[in-house]
């Protein structure tokens, strides 16, 4: 659901890059990438567009900076003594939660693969893969599987939540219940498996399912 952001009083003091990025994140959260324009941002900050261009070059630069502000804390580990598997789980869950709270982040990361933010994520996960003893010639494929899973599932989860709110304006339990009921009406001879998991579908937890997938990948790496 798009939040209505109020215009702030006209400011006289100069803006910092951090203030601009914070405001950009708020606009992205409320209206997505289409809701972030320099006109909207300057109006929200009660300043002129010229004050923004002194800190950011263009919209792409601004989104990359906003993405960095959201994702960079995800790669920080609470302890330097964490086991590699625990570190991967920590980073993965932090990114999942970040994409859930900021649905635009997933697509921003997808087209910013060469930027410092994505490189930081790659480096953090890659170091843990090395620590797990994965053979060097398997580093790329192993890290790719982890990153593709984290970004793909995180983006899909955020997209599903947004679509449910826009289309039905219903609570998650109600939407899942409708899907489960529809599955139960399927032909039992043609869809025996789908019918058998209908009850699980209606009460599943997306975050827990995501972590279960990470654990399956880590178990495969361990073998």
Residues 182 and 142 in one domain: yes
Q: Which residue has 């003091």 as its token pair?
A: 13
C-alpha–C-alpha distance, residues 126 and 110, integer Å: 18
Is the same domain home to 119 and 32?
no
Q: What pTM did the predictor assign? A: 0.82
114 lies in a domain?
A: yes
Query: Same domain for 45 and 76?
Result: no
CATH number at 36 reads 1.10.10.60
**Same domain flag for 108 and 189:** yes
Domain that holds residue 127: 72-222
Mean of the per-residue pLDDT values of the chain: 86
In this structure, the answer to whether residues 128 and 212 fall within a common structural domain is yes
Please provide the size of the chain in residues: 223
Q: Report the SS3 class of residue 119.
A: helix
Confidence of residue 11 (pLDDT cuts 50, 70, 90): very low
**Residue 3: pLDDT band by 50, 70, 90 thresholds?**
low
- 197 in any annotated domain: yes
Assess whether 50 and 83 both reside in one domain. no
Per-residue pLDDT tens over the stretch 111-145: 766 678 899 999 999 999 999 999 999 999 999 99
Question: Do 49 and 102 lie in a common domain?
Answer: no
Q: Are 109 and 118 in contact, with CB atoms under 8 Å apart?
A: yes
* Contact in structure between 13 and 34 (CB atoms under 8 Å): no
Domain-embedded: residue 129: yes
The SS3 assignment for 38 reads helix
Instruction: Verify that 85 and 51 share a domain, yes or no.
Output: no
* Claim to verify: residue 76 and residue 137 sit in the same structural domain: yes
pLDDT in tens, 69-88: 999 999 999 888 899 999 99
């Amino acid at each position: 659901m798009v939040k209505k952001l109020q215009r702030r009083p006209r400011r006289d003091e100069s803006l910092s890059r951090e203030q601009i990025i914070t405001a950009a994140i708020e606009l992205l959260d409320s209206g997505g990438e289409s809701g972030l324009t320099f006109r909207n941002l300057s109006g929200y900050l009660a300043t002129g567009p010229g004050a923004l261009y002194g800190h950011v070059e263009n919209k792409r630069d601004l989104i990359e900076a906003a993405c960095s502000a959201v994702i960079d804390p995800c790669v920080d580990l609470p302890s330097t003594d964490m086991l590699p598997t625990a570190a991967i789980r920590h980073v993965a869950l932090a990114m999942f939660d970040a994409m859930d709270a900021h649905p635009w982040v997933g697509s921003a990361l997808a087209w910013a693969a060469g930027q410092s933010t994505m490189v930081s994520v790659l480096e953090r996960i890659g170091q843990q893969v090395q620590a797990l003893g994965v053979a060097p010639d398997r580093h790329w494929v192993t890290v790719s599987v982890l990153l593709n899973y984290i970004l793909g599932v995180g983006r899909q989860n955020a997209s599903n939540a947004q679509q449910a709110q826009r289309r039905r304006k219903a609570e998650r339990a109600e939407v899942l219940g409708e899907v489960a009921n529809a599955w139960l009406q399927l032909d039992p001879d043609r869809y025996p498996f789908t019918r058998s998991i209908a009850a699980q579908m209606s009460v599943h937890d997306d975050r827990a399912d995501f972590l279960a997938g990470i654990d399956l990948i880590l178990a495969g790496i361990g073998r």
